[in-house]
Chain A
Amino acid sequence: MSRFFLGTFAVAMMFTSCIGQAADLEAAKKKVSEICQACHGMDGNSQVPNYPKLAGQNQDYLAKALRDYKSGARKDPTMNGFAGTLTAQDIDNLAAYFSAQPAVLQSRM
């Protein structure tokens, strides 16, 4: 019986590793403290009107925005510079981090 559970667990672990590396929130926090927080705040609730609030924003939208800044598809001198230094893993980490912060953003009308 326990062999059955062990087997199930092993198969589950194999699937998990296939899905890809999970976001590393601690690594994201370090990046945020080094780069992002100056404008967006440590928790993504920017106090500066020109800079968007990121806390609670959709994770896939945040990742797309960073990829677009990195590729140059979205143009902003500041963000092109910062996003250019990020790896694909950094982007996944940061998108997961900011989307998980408590937010004042709502999508209700």
Chain B
Amino acid sequence: MTRSIPFAASVAAAVAFCAVAFAQAPPATGNAEVGSQKVQMCQGCHGIPGWRTAYPEVYRVPKIAGQHQAYIVKALQDYKSGARTHPSMRAVASSLSDDDMANVAAYYAQLGLRVAQ
């Protein structure tokens, strides 16, 4: 009995460790090929050099080709959660699953590299 307590404690620790490890699992890798099928809704603004947003403020939309994949995913998640508020981007991001975001981000990240070569 005296030995079962440390055993139980170590099992609990192992379970806790796994829970933390799974909770912090890295996001999906993302497939640029699959992502390229999903960017029709992005191209209207991000595919046109110098395109300006019309609402709610007028400024040139950010260049995203060659941007870090992880940052593009974060931006999309922030739009989906409401941490970022641009109306059209909120609508677009809300329609994307986590996998969609990873794929689209992978597509734009490698696009810049390819163009720069």
Contacts and interface: CB of A to CB of B under 8 A. Distances in A.
B61 A58 contact: yes
Interface residues of A, number: 25
B84 A74 contact: yes
Q: State the main secondary structure of chain A at its contact with B.
A: loop
A76 B84 CA distance: 9
Contacts of A101: none
Q: What size tier do the contact residues of chain B reach? A: 20 to 34
A53 B64 CA distance: 9
B57 A46 contact: no
A107 B65 contact: yes
Contacts of A60: 59-60
Q: Which of B43, B63, B75, B84 has the most CB of A within 10 A?
A: B63
Interface of B: 39, 43, 46-51, 57, 59-71, 74-75, 78, 83-85, 111-113, 115-116
Interface of A: 46, 48-53, 56-58, 60-61, 63-64, 73-76, 103-109
